[in-house]
């Protein structure tokens, strides 16, 4: 057995010892049976969110991690129930395997591998999960081992997806409209190199290629559309704007406070609980949502690197070079939030959020009411009457932040919708004769 297997068995043994009821329930629970919680997928999704928050990983990186965990859980559960086409791991689970234990085993293994320093958190969640499963230890043990093996296979595949690729150095293209560094880089980071460039060439999750949904070019610098969107972000996205309302400022900061992965997975947690989805259906929903966000990120970073456009801070400070008489420079202009160290067009947050919103709209209907929260702004919440309303607000927020033009957000949302449609058309289809 490999090192991961030895570690995993030790954890299971420790949990089994401390949870005697798992082996031999007594009293009323022994008569009625301890119901295995349908919320096991949601519980582990919440644990994943906690781990993301604690690690402080960037948006695109957290989205990739979320897709690894979600697809591992889906293939582990579906390998037992066999209701839908597998995502990556086609082999069936061993007979008489607990699907709920498989979900826990997959999530545990993936999270420990991704965030090894947070293993105590995952050990506790595993103990909580096992304490609520029926007392059939062989089924549970098989489920844990099966889930762990599925996660290992997903992790091995994604280890070669390009995340660690060494790319040729970025060479800036001189002239108006092209990206330029906008702020001091973090320690150890070269400010002349856009961050996360490897996402532009990363192996997709459902797309045929990173450029499958490459959009048309952004508006010409001399166009009316460019001038209009330039004026909007210059006025509303300024750090010292007098046009932006207090509600708009809170909205801008709210969407900038957390990654799309954690924001939207919280929404899915709450909706899944209300709608009482089955274990397999919930695993499938989380997998589709997270790979849609992951593919949207890949598609958008591919476009960012392809078009290599400047950010509003550069565009406004150097407007005298753009050839558009309707734009005026302001050398002192600064955005509401710090500008990310990569290219502008299209918006990553708007695209990933739209992809998630489109998946949820397909499951629950677009006209679904929900409320969003962020632990980084506990006094600010945002409530919506539809998923499209929320996705539109993300686009507006990036303009209010002062880091994107409106056209970049509009295009990113179109890309997010296309990516979500592709996920539904190609992934995890219902097996003939099975019901969802």
3-21+33-159 and 197-426 have identical folds: no
pLDDT at 3 over 70: no
pLDDT at 164 over 60: yes
* Superfamily (CATH) of domain 3-21+33-159: Phosphatidic acid phosphatase type 2/haloperoxidase (1.20.144.10)
pLDDT at 433: 53
Helix (H/G/I), strand (E/B), else coil: 273: helix
Q: Radius of gyration over alpha carbons of the chain, in Å?
A: 23
Q: What average pLDDT does the structure give for the chain?
A: 90
Is residue 110 within 8 Å of 68, Cβ to Cβ?
Answer: yes
Domain residue limits, the chain: 3-21+33-159, 197-426
pLDDT in tens, 214-269: 999 999 999 999 999 999 999 999 999 999 999 999 999 999 999 999 999 999 99
CA pair distance 362, 312, nearest whole angstrom: 34
CA pair distance 282, 276, nearest whole angstrom: 9
pLDDT at 24: 26
Question: How many C-alpha atoms does 424 have within 13 Å on its Cβ side?
Answer: 14
Give Cα 222 to chain centroid, integer Å.
Answer: 35
Mean per-residue pLDDT for 386-393?
98
Cis peptide before 417 (omega within 30 of 0): no
Nearest to 202 by CA among 290, 302, 110, 289: 302
Mean per-residue pLDDT for 295-321?
98
For residue 309, list its beta bridge partners: 178
Q: What would the two tokens of residue 208 be?
A: 């045929």
pLDDT in tens, 119-147: 999 999 999 999 988 766 899 999 999 99
By mean pLDDT, which of 88-97, 140-149, 400-409, 425-434 is the weakest?
A: 425-434
pTM of the model: 0.90
pLDDT at 432: 66
Q: Count Cβ atoms below 10 Å from residue 410 Cβ, excluding itself.
A: 17
For residue 382, list its beta bridge partners: 372
Is residue 210 within 8 Å of 302, Cβ to Cβ?
Answer: yes
By mean pLDDT, which of 27-31, 52-56, 115-119, 424-428 is the weakest?
A: 27-31
Q: Count Cβ atoms below 10 Å from residue 336 Cβ, excluding itself.
A: 22
Fold of 197-426: Vanadium-containing Chloroperoxidase; domain 2 (1.10.606)
Band (pLDDT 50/70/90 cuts) for residue 41 is very high
CA pair distance 92, 154, nearest whole angstrom: 15
CA pair distance 150, 139, nearest whole angstrom: 16
pLDDT at 27 over 60: no
pLDDT in tens, 71-106: 999 999 999 999 999 999 999 999 999 999 999 999
CA pair distance 394, 392, nearest whole angstrom: 5
pLDDT at 431: 87
């Amino acid at each position: 057995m490999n090192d991961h297997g030895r570690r995993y068995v030790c954890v299971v043994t420790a949990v089994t010892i401390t949870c005697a009821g798992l082996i031999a329930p007594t009293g009323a629970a022994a008569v009625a049976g301890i119901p295995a919680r349908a919320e096991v997928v949601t519980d582990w999704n919440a644990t994943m969110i906690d781990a993301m928050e604690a690690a402080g990983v960037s948006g695109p990186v957290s989205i990739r991690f979320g897709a690894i965990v979600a697809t591992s859980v889906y293939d582990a559960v579906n390998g037992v129930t066999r209701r839908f086409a597998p995502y990556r791991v086609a082999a069936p689970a061993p007979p008489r395997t607990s699907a709920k234990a498989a979900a826990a085993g997959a999530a545990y293994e993936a999270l420990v591998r991704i965030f090894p320093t947070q293993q105590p958190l995952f050990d506790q969640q595993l103990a909580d999960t096992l304490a609520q499963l029926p007392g059939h230890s062989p089924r549970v043990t098989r489920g844990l081992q099966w889930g762990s093996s599925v996660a290992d296979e997903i992790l091995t595949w994604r280890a070669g997806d390009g995340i660690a690729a060494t790319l040729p150095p970025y060479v800036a293209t001189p002239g108006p409209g092209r990206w330029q560094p906008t702020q001091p880089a973090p320690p150890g980071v070269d400010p002349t190199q856009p961050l996360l460039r490897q996402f532009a060439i990363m192996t997709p999750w459902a797309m045929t290629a990173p450029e499958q949904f490459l959009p048309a070019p952004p508006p010409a610098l001399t166009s009316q559309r460019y001038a209009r969107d330039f004026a909007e972000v210059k006025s509303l996205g300024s750090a010292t704007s007098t046009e932006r309302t207090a509600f708009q400022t809170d909205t801008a900061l709210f969407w900038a406070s957390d990654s799309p992965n954690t924001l939207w997975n919280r929404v899915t947690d709450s909706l899944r609980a209300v709608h009482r989805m089955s274990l397999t259906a919930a695993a499938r929903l989380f997998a589709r949502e997270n790979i849609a966000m992951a593919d949207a990120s890949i598609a958008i970073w591919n476009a960012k690197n392809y078009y290599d456009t400047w950010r509003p801070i550069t565009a406004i400070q150097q407007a005298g070079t753009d050839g558009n008489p309707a734009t005026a420079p302001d050398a002192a202009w600064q955005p509401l939030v710090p500008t990310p160290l990569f290219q502008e067009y299209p918006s990553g947050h708007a695209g990933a959020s739209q992809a998630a919103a489109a998946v949820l709209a397909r499951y629950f209907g677009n006209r679904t009411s929900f409320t969003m929260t962020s632990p980084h702004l506990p006094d600010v919440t945002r409530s919506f009457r539809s998923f499209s309303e929320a996705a539109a607000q993300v686009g507006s927020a990036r303009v209010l932040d002062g880091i994107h033009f409106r056209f970049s957000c509009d295009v990113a949302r179109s890309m997010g919708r296309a990516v979500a449609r592709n996920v539904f058309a190609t992934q995890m289809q219902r097996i003939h004769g099975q019901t969802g």
